[in-house]
Amino acid sequence: MKVAATKYRSGKLGMLGIELTPQFWVGLTEIVLVNIVLSGDNALVIALACRNLPKQYQRTAILAGSAGAILLRVVFVLIVDQLMQISFLKLAGGLLLLWIGVKLVQGEDHEGDKIEGSGSIWGAIRTIVIADAVMSLDNAIAIAAAAKGNTALIIIGLLVSIPLIVFGATLIMMLLGRFPIIVVAGGALLGWIAGEVIATDPGYSTWLQVQLPSAKLAFEIGCAVFCVALGLWLQRRAKAAHAAKVAVAGPIDLAKGQSKE
């Protein structure tokens, strides 16, 4: 009986074919830790994209965005080796992520105070999916390295990360109302990630490293500053345009009211 029990503990889990070896538990622990670290980026993007939605739509968008993030990680983990060989793919993704960061820092337009539910929720989900598509590639590399080709381990680890992303996004959503600076910090983080993605594109990363050994750090800092600076400038320009529009519309509306009398 003792031998059988020992064999079961170090053997396979039921009909799933999962070998409960020390290597399995080490790999699972590594993947969970990787997900705890990397899920923060996804949770931040989800929270920033959903912050302007009506409250009745926020949870739906968070769940949809979290599901998209996990699905993309699964897909990318399975094809990560092929994707890493495509030159300039990370460059395109990094530039896209950089613009998403700028738009998130900029915030909503000032054309109206009300947000249409249907259009806004799909816009938020679209932003989440595009940003996750860029960030999940690097996440997939770390997960695949920790799993060492064990598909079951990858799936279990990713399933564990679902509540981490959902909880993280919900928590950040609660903090955004009290600490608006988180939006700026989030934009800087997205810019930092975009810089890292751009600097490590296989099409030119080797040449870039030779020309500028600290290129990765320079791109990260530069893109973070660019993202925040451009986003805040666009935000101030939009506010100024809105204020000017209101100032012009005010006297006109007043004159119309007096003529009616």
Q: What is the pLDDT of residue 116?
A: 35
Q: Give the residue with greater pLDDT, 238 vs 217.
A: 217
Indicate whether 31 pLDDT > 70: yes
Give the other-Cβ count within 10 Å of 178's Cβ: 7
Indicate whether 24 pLDDT > 70: yes
Q: What is the mean pLDDT of residues 226-240?
A: 91
Q: Give the residue with greater pLDDT, 120 vs 218.
A: 218
Confidence of residue 75 (pLDDT cuts 50, 70, 90): confident
C-alpha 25: how far from chain center = 28
C-alpha 32: how far from chain center = 18
Residue 98: which residues within 8 A CB-CB, separation 6 or more? 190, 191, 194, 195, 198, 223, 226, 227
Indicate whether 228 pLDDT > 70: yes
- Mean pLDDT, rounded, of the chain: 75
Q: What is the pLDDT of residue 224?
A: 93
Q: What is the pLDDT of residue 119?
A: 47
Q: What is the pLDDT of residue 7?
A: 45
Q: What is the mean pLDDT of residues 65-89?
A: 76
Provide, rounded to the nearest whole percent, the portion of the chain with pLDDT above 90: 11
Provide, rounded to the nearest whole percent, the portion of the chain with pLDDT above 70: 71
| Residue 210 in tokens | 């030779």
Residue-wise pLDDT for 159-192, tens only, equals: 777 777 778 777 887 887 788 788 888 888 888 8
Alpha helices in the chain (DSSP H): 2-9, 22-50, 55-83, 89-106, 117-147, 151-178, 181-199, 205-211, 215-260
Q: What is the pLDDT of residue 14?
A: 46
